[in-house]
Structure 1
Amino acid sequence: MSPASASRSRASRNRKRPLLRSRKARLALAAGVVVVACGAAGAFTVQALTPELTVRGLGRDSVLNAAHAKSLAMSVTADDTSLLRTLKVTLDGRTVPTRLNGDRLEIQPPPLAEGRHRLSVEGRGGSIPFTSPRTTRTFTVDTTPPALRLAPAQAQTLHSPVTVRGTAKGASKVEVDGREVDLGSDGAFSVTVPNPPPRVEVTARDRAGNSVTDDVHAVVHHPLMRAAHLTAIGWTSDSLREGVLNLIRQKKLNAVELDIKDEDGEIGYASQVPLARKIGSAKGYYDARKAIAEIHKLGAQVIGRIVAFRDPILANAAWGSGHRASVVQTPSGEPYGGGNYGSLAFTNFADPIVRKYNMDLASEAATLGFDDILYDYVRRPDGPLTSMAFPGLGTTTPEQSIADFVAETRAVVRPKGAFLGVSVFGVAATRPREIAQDIGLMAQQADYIAPMVYPSHWGPGEYKVADPNSSPYEIVQRSLADFARKTKGSESQVIPWLQDFSLGVHYGPAEVQAQIKAAADDGMHSFLLWNAGAKYQGDALAVIH
């Protein structure tokens, strides 16, 4: 090549190099961050070093449920911290407040509305010239849980399976009693639960993680029950026991109410509940399994009565051993002695030890084969509420605490095949705070309410009856009508206690029959008869067909 040709070739290459550098510069600028350096010959070289912005707390295309949207905490970090002061943050085009906190910029978004959102972060400058860092995040807020609808569920007996049906529109997953079930395209589901608890819990979740939980009542209608009361000692008496069993043989009764724990705190059979053994309350007057077998052999049912919170044996043992929270107290911390029961008669319904003791007895009885557990004295003592204290009650009302206790017991005995009833004062229908028996609350938790509407226990003028004791039909019919109204819409039945004893006025078959008719006129064909001496008038009873 000639000198002239070589010179022209070098000039040509030199003319092309600035164009090449210019193309590299454009690519680098497009990348976002530029470093410019001056070479020895005065030429500039360009290198891309994109500064990094990182949004923490929010991924790309995230879906936020209600909990996430409420607690969302976002911040921005940069490999060049000087950029943080230059950043502008917008949400859906509107500026969002920020706060610089050390090496991060905290984003303080407003409450997030349902739907799609776009978060933008951009800035200029920093320690590197010609930079304009920018990043975006798109996300969706979905705070609407699935629409869960449950159909009523009913089983034939406590031992029968129940079918739970419903729809969960918008759900991706449904669990019934803790087990995932198949969902139809319309969100419908149906599953059979064997030996159901009183309430079967159903939870529906969507893809965002929103959930809704409801429960369906596994309703089991209590069968017709016409029972008579027997104490534990009464069962050991041949004449008293046979008197009641003969009425069963004659088809005039179909159930025996037999005491498990009575007003003195004594347990009639040899209970194996540890606390009962420790405090000496298990007396073993009768053999529970043999008694139940004998009654069942006649085709009758056995109701086990547990006097819950009137319990002198437990109260004395607890107070003497230093567990004073187990006892109802005065505001000054002494044992409560109102209501003519004695100073250590009532245990504290709010105390976990007391609650567990009674629930353990109920559970044991259901395991032994008692068909029903019937609580009595499931209440606070008589007297002004200001005169007594219940350690551990807190801000919960006595009425709610007792209703919760009933619910807890039912969840224990129901899977063992036993119904749960609660005996209540007749005045509880209109005066729920008098002894902390709220019928509306209790009816949501018990299989049946057993109001003690004995005519002799009503004062003159109650329900506009001048002399209730001499007017058994009127007072029973009117008072039970109130209980029917209070329990309407619940799954609970009303099975009243009726009076088969004389107190002030002689009660023969006609007076007992008047009460039975009054209950039937209110739609209540089941009943329990009370006579402390366990002597019942068969002439008052019709044959059960």
Structure 2
Amino acid sequence: MNIKRKLSYLFLSLMLVLTSCTNTNQKEVPEVDDKTIDQAADEILKDNGLINDAIDKPIGKPYEVGVTPDDYNMDYDTSRLLSLDEKKTKFYPKDGVKGLYFNTYSVNTPETYNKIMDLLESTDLNAVVIDIKDDWGNVTMNFDTDDENIKYSKIDIVDPKALIEDFHSKGIYVIGRITTFKDSIITEKNPEWGFTLDDGTLWKNAHEEAFMNPFLKEVQDYDINIAKLAAQAGFDEIQFDYVRFAEGFETFGDTLDYSRGEYEDNTELDEGEKRVAAITGFVKRAREELQAYNVPMSIDVFGYALQVRRAEGIGQDFDEMSNQTDVISSMIYPSHWGSWSFDIEKPDLEPYELVKRYLDEEKEVLSQLDHPPVSRPWIQDFTASWIGEGNWMEYDGEAVQAQIDAIYDQGLNEYLIWNANSEYSSGVDY
């Protein structure tokens, strides 16, 4: 509050005090308006040499409460008080994250465990991605919690703290993966969290997998609470996968029964826009709530979300989601693209060109965001023989290396490699 305004209120307060001390039969004090107060304050300031008539008084609209003048150039978005660099643990690799997916069920298999550890210790690989909540919805970690829903889904494959200590002792960065909205376990306990058919049964896809309803706050709470437990257990980073509605939802969603949550009565948004708002809202909310745990957050998205930019069917807007996370991991497996994607007739046969051309476009898009995340793409170390004869090839060390070379040639130095069974090719210079 400036000195003139302070004096104005002092002047008004003095008048009120004097009025209250007089006899109640005295005539009322005339109404005092802002102009009268300002004039009185000017007289006091002039008498004390604090202003003179030559000084121009500021003219303009008063600042709104809670809004900082642009002159100060300050960002009061409290959810962004910490940058990625400030949230990184000491195990974040200085030369960038180069990681493998390590299937949680293989952690307790000595043969696989030893192979992964040997690979990490003998190459430039420096990180692992481990399921906290797997593709079916099982919470694989032995978390100490009173949350009845999490307790229902827990299968306690590993002790998270012991596992993390083991990796940290070898200097390995540990990312915890959460399969977010695809969940066939908790929807058994809470079918109202899913999508139901006319007969009241849960909708499931062709693989008999159910999805939770991203519109529901209690659904979002469930995944975020699991993430918080993982952060408390010591994971270096939380990665959300399946941050979307089911594939093709726009083609069958209107046949299902489900709530749109806070968007139920919103007539300004169509169904696709509501789905995008729900997914983007979850990503923003997760980042805000995890900041209290000083842990970075990453999200996985379909590669094609970049090309379409706004995949309203599944609710993924590439720009909006990227702007709300610390790290973006696009799944750019060459086998997952149709013919002539990026002008490549058979993408799976040209891993170097596919990755290079994808990253060309991604760099351009991310550079235009207010808060661009680190790009850490998922690449493939598996053979996609199911995409049809003539369209696929054997993915060996050479094919994996081609993808990594493309990443480095594009000026990036982070990547994750996917193999569902954690069986990785030899002969790769990571």
TM-score by length of 2: 0.75
1:316 corresponds to which residue?
188
Answer whether contact 2:139 2:154 (CA < 8 A) is retained. yes
Q: Counterparts of 1:38-437 in structure 2 under 5 Å?
A: 61=36, 142-145=61-64, 148-149=69-70, 166=72, 198-200=79-81, 218-220=83-85, 223=93, 224-275=96-147, 280-319=152-191, 324=192, 326-329=193-196, 334=200, 337=203, 339-342=205-208, 345-385=210-250, 387-388=252-253, 390-391=258-259, 392-394=261-263, 395=266, 397-431=274-308, 432-433=310-311, 434-437=313-316
Q: CA deviation at 1:61?
A: 4.2
Shift in alpha-carbon separation, 1:315–1:53, aligned structure 2, 3 A: same
Partner SS for 1:540: coil
Q: How many residues align?
A: 356
Shift in alpha-carbon separation, 1:523–1:406, aligned structure 2, 3 A: same
1:516 corresponds to which residue?
404
**Do structure 1's residue 526 and structure 2's residue 420 form an aligned pair?**
no
Q: Deviations over 1:326-382 (max 9, x none)?
A: 11346x68556364243x610011111111110011111011110010101011111
Shift in alpha-carbon separation, 1:336–1:449, aligned structure 2, 3 A: farther
1:172 corresponds to which residue?
none
Partner SS for 2:168: helix
Cα separation, 1, equivalents of 2:199 and 2:414 = 43
Answer whether contact 2:98 2:127 (CA < 8 A) is retained. yes
Shift in alpha-carbon separation, 1:62–1:482, aligned structure 2, 3 A: farther
Shift in alpha-carbon separation, 1:149–1:284, aligned structure 2, 3 A: same
Shift in alpha-carbon separation, 1:333–1:464, aligned structure 2, 3 A: farther
Cα separation, 1, equivalents of 2:288 and 2:215 = 18
Answer whether contact 1:439 1:486 (CA < 8 A) is retained. no
Cα separation, 2, equivalents of 1:243 and 1:532 = 15
Matched letter for residue 352 of structure 1 = K
Shift in alpha-carbon separation, 1:62–1:272, aligned structure 2, 3 A: farther
Partner SS for 1:491: coil
Matched letter for residue 498 of structure 1 = I
Partner SS for 1:423: strand
Structure with a larger share of its residues in helix = 2
1:507 corresponds to which residue?
395
Partner SS for 1:398: helix
Partner SS for 1:284: strand
Matched letter for residue 530 of structure 1 = W
Consecutive unaligned residues of structure 2, counting only runs of 5 or more, are 1-24, 39-56, 267-272, 386-392
Answer whether contact 2:150 2:226 (CA < 8 A) is retained. no
Answer whether contact 2:160 2:233 (CA < 8 A) is retained. yes
Cα separation, 1, equivalents of 2:134 and 2:401 = 28
Cα separation, 1, equivalents of 2:136 and 2:177 = 13
The answer to which of 381-390 and 249-258 deviates more is 381-390
Consecutive unaligned residues of structure 1, counting only runs of 5 or more, are 1-48, 64-114, 117-139, 151-165, 169-174, 178-196, 201-216
1:443 corresponds to which residue?
322
Q: Deviations over 1:298-352 (max 9, x none)?
A: 0111000000000111111111xxxx1x11346x68556364243x610011111
Q: CA deviation at 1:475?
A: 1.4
Q: Deviations over 1:416-455 (max 9, x none)?
A: 2321000111111022224211121112211111011111
Cα separation, 1, equivalents of 2:187 and 2:394 = 37
Cα separation, 2, equivalents of 1:476 and 1:335 = 41
Partner SS for 2:342: helix
The runs of 4+ residues in structure 1 deviating greater than 6 Å are 49-54
Partner SS for 1:502: coil
1:467 corresponds to which residue?
346
Q: CA deviation at 1:239?
A: 1.3
Shift in alpha-carbon separation, 1:278–1:526, aligned structure 2, 3 A: closer
Partner SS for 1:312: coil
Answer whether contact 2:214 2:245 (CA < 8 A) is retained. yes
Q: CA deviation at 1:272?
A: 3.1
Measured on the aligned residues, the alpha-carbon RMSD in Å equals 3.0
Q: Deviations over 1:53-92 (max 9, x none)?
A: 9769x556468xxxxxxxxxxxxxxxxxxxxxxxxxxxxx
Percent of aligned positions that are identical: 26
Partner SS for 1:430: helix
Answer whether contact 1:338 1:383 (CA < 8 A) is retained. no
Cα separation, 1, equivalents of 2:284 and 2:108 = 33
1:96 corresponds to which residue?
none
Q: CA deviation at 1:279?
A: 5.7
Shift in alpha-carbon separation, 1:272–1:254, aligned structure 2, 3 A: same
Matched letter for residue 360 of structure 1 = N
1:72 corresponds to which residue?
none
Partner SS for 2:246: coil
Q: Please tell me whether Structure 1 or Structure 2 has the larger radius of gyration of its CA atoms.
A: 1
Answer whether contact 1:371 1:418 (CA < 8 A) is retained. yes
Cα separation, 1, equivalents of 2:180 and 2:160 = 19
